[in-house]
């Protein structure tokens, strides 16, 4: 399974390659450069080393400004070699020049600086801590920008910080990052893919939920609690939502037990929608959708017994399927992690059925599962 940082790093590489091709075309079209100079410049970009980076860092510091060309070279160097990032990071005052350009009035310099910071954030924890400390507030603020490239580059930089440095992540989380990411994430589908930031913001929220749920402040928790039910189950990307909700809220039983009725209904509906719309577990997306749907349903039943009636009503009225048919659909997913979740979910269902006047003593016999298949799946999981 790809981790969030690998997804973003691949996006950054693709973006950098496209920018490189753009620059090549620009050089070809410009009358200022001959063919020999074009070749020389391209070769230079392919072979930037630590000495080149140190020279560029000292130059922009001395001039107290960086040109788009300077920043393009630095950006390319950061992507080529981690040592280039380390050299730049050790040059006092160099990063401040990039931030100065990021906050300046020139949109060209602003985008160039954002590209630089994005690739610079591929460095280790101290690098990301420094970016968060010096530029974190600007990265969060620019999530409101109407400039498409700027918003996306800021999202990628924030994701790298969140995934690499806990100290940097804490700094960014203090700057109202959660509400800004959430607004980008839950928005309606946008026809123009370039302006759709939902997946990038979702991955940022995923990283936060997996690593920093326990340190979110009361204000952020209250915000998420109030807005958790605003994501449309059919609006892509829809595979992250239940994982984010589960990791943030379901680690404390008392929080789940006090869910309001509308949130309980929403989570049951979202979970059933995910399962209904997933025919088979063909990839990471499908596994996330089904795994967390079953996990949330099981935990809601365990913490809120009265929710069982809501579950049965939703199955009957919306999906025209009974409990046996639903469980058989779940057992049709042939995946070890999923089987474990289903068995725990089934145990919670049986607890509820025991208190049901219409308890079907033959419920287990009606399930289309073979004991040996389940045991085999569990053995594969334990092995």
Q: Highest mean pLDDT range out of 19-33, 55-69, 346-360?
A: 55-69
Side-chain-facing half-sphere of 253: CA atoms under 13 Å: 7
| Rounded Cα gap, residues 101 and 96, in angstroms | 9
What is the structure's pLDDT at 336? 82
Q: Are 271 and 248 in contact (CB under 8 A)?
A: no
DSSP string across 126-189: HHHHHHHHHHHHHHHHGGG-S-HHHHHHHHHHHHHHHHH-HHHHHHHHTTTHHHHHHHHHSSPP
Asked if pLDDT for residue 4 goes beyond 90, the answer is no
**pLDDT interval class at 334 (50, 70, 90):** confident
What is the structure's pLDDT at 18? 59
What is the structure's pLDDT at 363? 74
Instruction: Map residue 237 onto helix, strand or coil.
Output: coil
**Ranges of H-type helices in 64-124:** 68-80, 82-89, 94-102, 107-120
Q: Are 39 and 45 in contact (CB under 8 A)?
A: no
pLDDT 10s digits, 213-258: 999 999 999 999 999 999 999 888 999 999 999 999 999 899 999 9
Q: What is the mean pLDDT of residues 86-97?
A: 97
- Of the candidates 59, 129, 135, which has an alpha carbon nearest to the alpha carbon of residue 96? 135
* Token pair recorded at residue 169: 């992540």
What is the structure's pLDDT at 224? 97
pLDDT top residue among 151 and 16? 151
| Rounded Cα gap, residues 138 and 105, in angstroms | 14
Q: What is the mean pLDDT of residues 43-54?
A: 79
* Of the listed ranges 129-133, 261-265, 372-376, the one predicted with least confidence: 372-376
Q: Are 220 and 178 in contact (CB under 8 A)?
A: yes
How many C-beta atoms lie closer than 10 Å to residue 294's C-beta?
Answer: 25
Q: Which letter does DSSP use for residue 283 in this model? A: S
| Rounded Cα gap, residues 295 and 338, in angstroms | 9
Q: Are 324 and 368 in contact (CB under 8 A)?
A: no
What is the structure's pLDDT at 40? 45
**Range(s) of the chain covered by CATH 1.25.10.10:** 36-214
- For the entire predicted model, the pTM comes to 0.87
Share of residues in the chain with pLDDT > 90 (%) = 70
pLDDT 10s digits, 27-40: 334 334 443 343 44
What is the structure's pLDDT at 5? 55
* Choices 1.10.3470, 1.25.10, 1.20.1260, 1.20.120: CATH for 228-370: 1.25.10
| Rounded Cα gap, residues 17 and 21, in angstroms | 6
How many C-beta atoms lie closer than 10 Å to residue 188's C-beta?
Answer: 8
Domain at 36-214: CATH code: 1.25.10.10
* Token pair recorded at residue 172: 């960014």
């Amino acid at each position: 399974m790809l981790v969030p940082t690998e997804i973003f790093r691949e996006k950054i590489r693709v973006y950098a390659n496209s920018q490189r091709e753009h620059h090549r075309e620009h050089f070809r079209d410009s009358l200022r450069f001959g063919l020999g100079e074009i070749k020389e410049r391209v070769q230079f970009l392919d072979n930037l080393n630590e000495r080149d980076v140190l020279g560029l860092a000292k130059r922009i510091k001395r001039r107290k400004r960086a040109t788009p060309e300077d920043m393009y070279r630095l950006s390319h160097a950061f992507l080529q070699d981690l040592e280039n990032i380390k050299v730049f990071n050790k040059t006092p005052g160099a990063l401040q020049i990039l931030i100065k350009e990021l906050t300046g009035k020139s949109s060209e310099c602003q985008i160039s600086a954002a590209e630089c910071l994005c690739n610079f954030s591929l460095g280790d924890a101290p690098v990301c801590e420094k970016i968060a400390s010096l530029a974190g507030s600007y990265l969060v603020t620019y999530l409101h920008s109407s400039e498409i490239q700027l918003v996306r580059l800021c999202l990628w930089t924030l994701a790298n910080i969140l995934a690499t440095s806990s100290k940097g992540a804490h700094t960014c989380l203090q700057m109202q990052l959660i509400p800004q990411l959430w607004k980008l994430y839950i928005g309606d589908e946008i026809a123009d893919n370039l302006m759709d930031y939902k997946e990038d913001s979702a991955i940022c929220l995923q990283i936060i939920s997996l690593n920093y749920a326990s340190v979110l402040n009361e204000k952020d928790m209250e915000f998420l609690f109030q807005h958790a039910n605003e994501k449309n189950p059919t609006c892509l990307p829809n595979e992250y939502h239940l994982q984010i909700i589960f990791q943030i809220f379901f680690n404390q039983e008392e929080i789940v037990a006090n869910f309001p009725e509308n949130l309980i209904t929403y989570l049951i509906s979202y979970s059933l929608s995910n399962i209904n719309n997933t025919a088979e577990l063909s990839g990471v997306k499908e596994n996330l959708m089904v795994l967390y749907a079953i996990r949330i349903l099981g935990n809601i039943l365990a913490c809120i017994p009265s929710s069982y009636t809501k579950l049965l009503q939703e199955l009957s009225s919306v999906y025209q399927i009974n409990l046996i048919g639903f469980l058989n659909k779940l057992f049709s997913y042939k995946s070890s992690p999923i089987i474990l979740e289903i068995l725990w979910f089934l145990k919670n269902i049986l607890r509820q059925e025991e208190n049901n006047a219409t308890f079907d003593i033959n419920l287990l016999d009606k399930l289309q599962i073979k004991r040996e298949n389940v045991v085999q799946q569990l053995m594969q999981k334990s092995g």
